[in-house]
Structure 1
Amino acid sequence: MTKTMRAVLLSEPGGVERLVLKDLPIPQPPPDWVRIRVKAFGVNETEVTSRKGLSSPDFTMPRILGIECVGVIDAAADGTPFQKGQKVATMMGGMGRSFDGSYAEYFIVPARQVIPFETELPWDVVGALPEMFQTAYGSLTKGIDLRPGQSVLIRGGTSTVGLSAATLAKQMGAVVLSTTRRPERLELLRDYGVDHPLVDDGQISPTVRNLFPNGVDAALELVGGKTLRDTLRATRTQGVVCFTGALSDDWIIADFSPLGFIPFGTRLTAYGGNAGDLPADAFDRQLRAISDGRLKVAIAKVYHGLENVGEAHANLESGATPGKHVVVLD
Structure 2
Amino acid sequence: MTRVIRFHQHGGPEVLRIEDVAIPPPAQGEIQIRVKALGLNRAEALLRAGTYIETPALPSGLGLEAAGIVETVGKGVQGFAPGDAVSIVPPVSMVRWPAYGEVVTFPAELVVKHPPPLSWDAAAAVWMPYLTAYGALIDIGKLSGGDFVVVTAASSSVGLAAIQIANRVGATPIAVTRTSAKRQALLELGAAHVVASAEEDLAARLKAIAGPKGVRVVLDPIGGPIFEPLTDAMSRGGILIEYGGLSAEPTPFPLFTVLSKALTLRGYLVHEIVSDPARLAAAKAFILDGLTSGSLKPIIARTFPFDQIVDAHRFLESNEQLGKIVVTV
With structure 2 as the length reference, what TM-score do the two structures score? 0.89
Structure 1 stretches lacking a partner, 5+ long = none
Residue 234 of structure 2 aligns to which amino acid in structure 1?
T
Secondary structure of the structure 2 residue equivalent to 1:66: coil
Give 1:327 deviation, angstroms. Answer: 0.8
**Paired residue type of 1:12:** Q
Q: Deviations over 1:260-302 (max 9, x none)?
A: 5734311122321244536433232232234xxx554321111
Aligned match of 2:216: 217
SS of structure 1 residue aligned to 2:161? helix
Distance in 2 separating the partners of 1:206 and 1:139? 25
Q: Is 1:117–2:114 an aligned residue pair?
A: yes
For residues 287 and 10 of structure 2, the distance between their equivalents in structure 1, rounded to whole angstroms, comes to: 34
- Decide whether the 8 Å contact of 1:38 with 1:72 is kept in 2: yes
SS in 1 for 2:212: coil
Q: Structure 1 residues 5, 125: closer, same or farther in 2, change over 3 A?
A: same
* Mapped partners of 2:180, 2:154: distance in 1: 12
Q: Give distance in 1, aligned partners of 2:143 and 2:322.
A: 25
User: Cα–Cα, structure 1 residues 183 and 29, in superposed 2: closer, same or farther, change >3 Å?
Assistant: same
Question: AA paired with 1:92?
Answer: P
Residue in 1 aligned with 2:301? 300
Displacement of 1:9 after TM fit? 0.9
Q: What is the match of residue 228 of structure 1? A: 227
Q: 2:37 aligns to what SS in structure 1?
A: strand
User: Displacement of 1:216 after TM fit?
Assistant: 0.7
Question: In the aligned structure 1, how far is the partner of 2:67 from the partner of 2:174?
Answer: 31
Aligned-partner Cα distance in 2 for 1:188–1:113:
33
For the residues of structure 1 that align with 2:64 and 2:291, how far apart are their CA atoms?
Answer: 20
> What amino acid does structure 1 have at the position aligned with 2:293?
A
RMSD, aligned α-carbons: 2.2
Q: Which residue of 2 aligns with 1:280?
A: 284
What CA distance in whole angstroms lies between the structure 1 residues aligned with 2:24 and 2:201?
49
Tell me, in whole angstroms, the C-alpha distance in 2 between the residues paired with 1:311 and 1:11: 18
Instruction: Tell me if 1:88 matches 2:104.
Output: no
User: Structure 2, unaligned stretches of length 5 or more?
Assistant: none
Report the secondary structure of 1:325's partner residue: strand
Say if 2:246 is the partner of 1:247.
yes
Amino acid of the structure 2 residue aligned with 1:45:
R
Q: What does residue 205 of structure 1 align with?
A: 203
Corresponding residue of 1:23: 20
> Could you tell me which of 253, 257, 262 is aligned with 2:258?
262
* Deviation (angstroms), 1:241: 1.3
Which stretch has the larger CA shift, 203-212 or 192-201?
203-212
Between stretches 81-90 and 185-194, larger displacement belongs to 81-90
CA distance in 2, matches of 1:249, 1:139: 23
Check if 1:127 corresponds to 2:124. Answer: yes
1:315 aligns with 315
Pairs within 5 Å for 1:9-48? 9-48=6-45
Equivalent pair of 1:221/1:231 in contact (CA under 8 Å): no
Q: Distance in 1 between matches of 2:171 and 2:213?
A: 17
**Deviation sequence 1:207-246 (CA, Å, 0-9, x none):** 2112223421211112224423332222111111111233
Aligned residue pairs, count: 318
